[in-house]
Each structure stands twice: as structure tokens, then as C-alpha cells.
Amino acid sequence: MASAEQYLKPEVIRSVARLDLRAKFIVEGFLSGLHASPFHGFSVEFSEHRRYSQGDDPRDIDWLVYAKTDRYYIKKYQAETNITGYLLMDLSESMAYTYRQELSKFDYSICLAAALAYLMVHQQDPVGMMAFGEKIEASLPARSKRSQLANILALLAKVKPKGPTDIAGNLRRVAAMVKNKCLLMLFSDLLSDPDPILDAIRMLRFAGHDVIIFHVLDEAEVNFPFDGMCDLREPESGQTLLVDAAGIRADYLDAMKELRDRYRRECRAAGADFVELDTSMRFDRALVEYLAQRKARF
């Protein structure tokens, strides 16, 4: 039987048919590896506890946790721990692309979003979802009930990538729909003009929202492994272009690096997290970024 950490690998998770089991296995694989990460002990904090610090009421110490860990943790209260999160899913047709990986960009994003929903519901944090193309196609208001996970998984299983997208416009629509300060988690390949997208991210940050951008690309979009004459197709417009792969490889890789560098730099300046992922990568990098963003709030 595969170890829990195996389920952090996209090629393994692909063999699991049900989305709820994928989410569970990713999370369990991630939590089982936390002892080797800078978040040692975070799984205890994650279960509605936090480390005792000077000034805390000793009566709040959880002695059962102390007996297991030899460390002092106090019980968190509901008002102290709750953060409302929204999963924002890009439905652009380009998200359906895969070159040779088991999961497309969209499949990878769906699995990651399901795992994050599983984590948030486990924490009793309200979580909702919005999926968009040119406009918002589907939405679920944030809830913390256990039944919310099934609602989100059902919606994630239903939505499909198709047609063009308007990332910036929909981020602004999300801002108008979400009244309180939230954690907004965007899953997208960001294959659009970066200027309006970055403006929208800055607007969300100015409004007080925490923002994590999960930039999900296919492995081939990162490494450009093509040879010879290639017929490249732009998925949203259908336009094709015949190119010499060797002749454009260096320029393509430079342009991709420049794009990601710009997003990383400008998101950091705005106080947003930018997580670079491709469909060959294990899921734990994105989950660590989520926990880091959550931990920074307390």
C-alpha cells in the first residue's frame, strides 16, 4: 500500500476516481509530512490550538495535548480562529491543456482546491467558491458546516473549462460580492494581460483581503520540451501558428521567466502571495503557502 505522502504526487492522485478521496489523501499526505517542514507542530495548532505564550490564561492550557507533545498549547476560541475563505477558479479553456502529465492544469487546480476546502472545513472555517470565465458562472457562499465540503466538491466536479476568461474583471466582481475581509485563493494559468490582473490584485489588498495566487502551468509551458516544427494553437481563439521550436525556445523561456518574475515581484509589493506551480509538482508546496498565509494572520 502506498504511503500517505504518495498522494501528494499528481501521477498517483490521478488514479483515485472520487474527488473527495483525492482531497482527503492529499491532506493526509501533507499532514503526515509536516514533521519535516518548518511547520512542525502546526497540525496541532491547526486543530484549534495554538502555542501558549506569556500573558495567556493558564486555565486555557490543554493538558491532553501537553501529555502528547510535552509542549503547552491553549485552546483557540471560535472568534479567534475563524477566517473566511473563497476558492476562485479560472474556467478558461487554456486550463484544460496537458502535454504529457496525468492531470491538466484544471484537474490539478481542482484537486488542490478540494484539498484546501477539506482543510478549511476541518478547521471549522467558512469557505465558499466562485468559478468564472468571462463572467462568474457559479458561486457558493461561505459556510463552515460539514455539509459545505460536499457542496464545494459537487460544484468543483461540475464546472468545466471552456472559452475565454476575464480574470481582472471577475476579481473586481468578487470584491463587490464579498463584503467582509476574506482569504481569496485564485487558481489560474494567468494567460492574459498581466496589467489589469495586477491592478485587481492591488485593489483586493487595498480592501483588506488576504490574497494567494496559485499560478498553475503545465510542465510543458514551463520547460518548453518541443522539437522540430510545432503547430501551436491558442485555445481560446482557436488560432494556430507553425513555429520552429528550437528557434523560439530561448525567447519563450525568457518571456515566461519575465512574466513570473513580474508577478512574484508585484504581488510581494502588494502583500499578496504568489505560488508558482506546474502539473508535475507535488501538492505540498501550495498547501504550505496556504498555512503560511493563515498563520500570518495570528
CATH number, domain of 116, equals 3.40.50.410
Same domain for 281 and 154? yes
- pTM value is 0.82
In a domain, 20, yes or no: no
Same domain for 148 and 45? no
Q: Who has greater pLDDT, 222 or 81?
A: 222
In a domain, 25, yes or no: no
Residue at which a domain ends, from 81, 109, 140: 81
Predicted confidence (pLDDT) per residue in 107-136, tens digit: 999 999 999 999 999 888 999 999 999 999
For cell 507542530, what's the residue?
Answer: 41
Predicted confidence (pLDDT) per residue in 229-267, tens digit: 776 666 666 677 777 777 778 888 899 999 999 999 999
Predicted confidence (pLDDT) per residue in 137-163, tens digit: 999 999 988 899 999 999 999 999 998
Same domain for 49 and 88? no
Same domain for 43 and 157? no
Single out the residue of 186, 229, 230, 224 nearest to residue 204, CA to CA: 186
Quote the crossing angle between the two packed helices 105-122 and 284-295, to the nearest 10°.
40
In a domain, 74, yes or no: yes
Same domain for 74 and 164? no
Same domain for 59 and 111? no
Name the residue range of residue 231's domain: 83-295
CA 113 to chain centre: 6
In a domain, 15, yes or no: no
Same domain for 73 and 215? no
Please give the tally of structural domains in the chain. 2
Same domain for 132 and 278? yes
Same domain for 71 and 118? no
Same domain for 39 and 187? no
* E strand map for the chain: 49-51, 73-75, 85-90, 127-132, 136-143, 183-188, 210-217, 229-233, 240-244, 273-278
CA 107 to chain centre: 12
Same domain for 88 and 207? yes
Same domain for 60 and 94? no
In angstroms, the Cα distances linking 36 to 33, 46, 141, 192, 223 are 6, 16, 35, 37, 29
Mean pLDDT, the chain, integer: 85
